[in-house]
Structure 1
Amino acid sequence: MTPEIENAFTAIRGEHGADSVERVERMLEPSGAGERHPLQHGAKWILPGLSPTPWHDPRGHPELTPVVEALEAAHPAIKEELAAAWAEHREAFSDYEHYLTRQEDWQALYLYRDGGLVGESAGTVPTAYKVLDEFAVGTGKICPLLESHFSTLLPGAAIAPHCDLWNFSINLHLAVDIPDGCGITVAGETRSWVEGKCLLFDYSFEHEARNDGELPRTCLLVDLWHPETTIPERQALTVLISEIRRLMADG
């Protein structure tokens, strides 16, 4: 670990206790977190002690329930504003750049990125922006290492099976505009989005999605802290991953 990470971890231990970042430190050991589920094979980091559960009940975690309920309640306005943005402000959307690839048939409109809200989106999709700000950003539930965006799969688009980088954040989908012929598979279990409702899953497990229909499919994706992580662990992970990214950029 770099001096910056060591100093940050020492400060967190001083505030929260000697064992407060123990799981993060175990994750960094050569043996990693020990055994992992076979369908988490592609994830780089597995924080030990988190339930190895691919699909989560969106209302199963009290910390996250307010985010779910607020997004679902706002769905009619969110869908209307998204449709207007798609029709009138297509320049606000861009090819989605996953850490593995870039896809022209996967379009994204960002609300939160690089550790902060994307101010330009406040005027384009104001309801989603306001709900995200109030219930996820302002409450510290969003993972600042990742993002929130409208994810639009064009007809015929497919997201190949893959694992994301870690298990200490969790992916929330609000189904905004869902035509027939769309599905998502996580750890071998396929589900369909239900318009106006949320899905919640651990994307360290292998997952894929597709739009076999004739119209675009759009969900609002929000990367939230895994509810089984602690406040000091979230602080340590934010410092750790930010420093790793800085070193990779400098290198």
Structure 2
Amino acid sequence: MTPEIDAYFEVVKSEHGADSLARVEEMLEPRRRSEQRHPLQQAAKWVLPGIPQVPWHDPYAYPELLPLVNALEAESAQIKSEHELAWAQRRASFSDYEHYLVRQNNWQALYLYRDGALVPDSAAVAPTAYRMLKEHAVDTGVICPLLESHFSTLLPGAVIKPHCDLWNFSINLHLAIDIPEGAAIRVAGETRPWEEGKTLLFDYSFEHEAWNKGATARTCVLADLWHPDTTLPERSALTMLMTEIQKMMAA
């Protein structure tokens, strides 16, 4: 770690207790790279110990996330309508999705939250989704500021190849808003379909893939949220840690 990271960790521990970052510090030990991981988590770069090794989660099981889940599902018809209008009339608001592993032109994104902040231009393009995200994820602190939220549209024939995302301390929420027959997602070997108007929640440090074999586009609203089993001091330290690592990698 750098002196800046060490100093920040000491501040957090002085406020929350000497053991408040024990799991984060353990995660950074070199020997943790492959120990105590599920076989389908091996490609993730960082695995915070103590997070349950459960690929699929019940989106209604976590009080912290439930207001967002309920709000998105309640407003799903309006969110879908606004997306359809944007897709038809404001296509310039969409861009190729840039995953850390790949960029795909048959995977389109309309960003609601990115680079640690809401995307102001999306408020006019997708006002209901923007408002739900702001009120129930950003203002409440459940969104992971290291990542993003966006409308994710897979064009017909698009395939997202099997991969693990970077870490297990955030979790991925999907609201299904436009799902053709032949579209599905597989996480840790278990395939599930999306159901329009409903959410799915999964740990994307596990190997996962998705496809759209349908005749029309598949669209979900995706939100990267803090894993409910992380603590507030851990979230603070992880945000600083990963931000510094990203800076060093970009230098």
Give the TM-score normalised by structure 1.
Answer: 0.99
Structure 1 runs (4+) deviating above 6 angstroms are: none
1: CA distance, partners of 2:140 / 2:16: 20
Give the superposition deviation at 1:6.
0.6
Q: Give the corresponding residue for 1:242.
A: 243
DSSP-derived class of the 2:30 partner = coil
Gaps of 5+ in 1: none
Tell me if 1:220 matches 2:203: no
Tell me the equivalent position of 1:6. 6
- Could you tell me which residue of structure 1 aligns to residue 131 of structure 2? 130
Root-mean-square deviation (CA, aligned residues, Å) is: 0.6
Q: How far off its partner does 1:41 sit?
A: 1.3
- Corresponding residue for residue 21 of structure 1: 21
Distance in 1 (alpha carbons) for counterparts of 2:246 and 2:180 = 37
Residue 188 in structure 1 maps to residue 193 in structure 2? no
2:159 match: 158
1:232 aligns with 233
Tell me how far apart the structure 1 counterparts of residues 88 and 43 of structure 2 sit (CA, whole Å).
37
Residue 3 of structure 1: how far off its partner (Å): 1.1
Q: Following the alignment from structure 1 to structure 2, what is the Cα–Cα distance between the partners of residues 248 and 166? A: 16
- Structure 1 SS opposite 2:204: coil
Within the alignment, does 1:100 sit opposite 2:101 as a pair? yes
Matches within 5 A, 1:106-121: 106-121=107-122
**Paired residues, number:** 250
Deviation at 1:248, TM superposition (A): 1.2
Q: Displacement of 1:179 after TM fit?
A: 1.0
Amino acid at match of 2:227: H
Partner of 2:82: 81
TM-score, normalisation: structure 2: 0.99
Distance in 2 (CA, whole Å) between partners of 1:45 and 1:145 is 14
Letter of the 1:13 partner, please give it: K
Q: Is the partner of 2:26 in helix, strand or coil? A: helix
Q: CA offset at residue 62 of structure 1?
A: 1.1
- Any gaps of 5 or more consecutive residues in structure 2? none
